[in-house]
Amino acid sequence: MKKFYYYLFSLVLSLATLSCSTDDEAGLTDQFLTANVNGSEFNSGTNKASLIFTREIDPAGRVNLFVSAISADGDIMEFMIENYQGVGKYYVGNNIYNNSWIKYQKPSNSEQWMLNTGGALNLTSNFIDITQSEDDLIEGKISCKELKSVLADVFGAVDGDFRLKYIP
């Protein structure tokens, strides 16, 4: 009887091991968010904990897309697209009704810069361009010519690229 349970346990363990595929993890190796932030490089690699891409449905039924990335140096870049509808260019701060935003934090210096509603200094060059959108993948570019710090100092430009997988 002990042999039966041993074989049963071995079979269950084998099936569990076989059903765990590395394809899901292999797909994560090609995700990234890289940017030039005021002349400094921001690189967030393939670590699942360092890249987050989520979709939320607001009370009006619109989809909001949220991205958060942490670099190897501990810097944080986040952006949110309100009323996300797939491939297209989404402007940030171009009117008072647009609640999309871009944020960059440098915790080592306790600094934070953000561009949000009504905070745009350049209405046409602050955008997030989604060039590819599938059920679990987004790809595109981020561009912001002037972020403002909480002390109203102008920080500088952000230009970057990203490819992110949705992980529920």
Residue 13: what pLDDT? 34
pLDDT of 120 strictly over 90:
no
Contact 155, 149 (CB under 8 A): yes
d(C-alpha 35, C-alpha 3), whole Å: 58
Label residue 74 exposed, middle or buried (CB < 10 Å: 0-12, 13-18, 19+): exposed
Predicted local distance difference test score (pLDDT) of residue 47: 63
| Domain locations in the chain as residue ranges | 30-165
Compute the radius of gyration of the chain from its Cα atoms.
20
Residue 162's pLDDT is what? Answer: 94
**Tens digit of each residue's pLDDT (9 = 90 or more) over 26-57:** 444 588 999 998 888 899 876 655 788 888 88
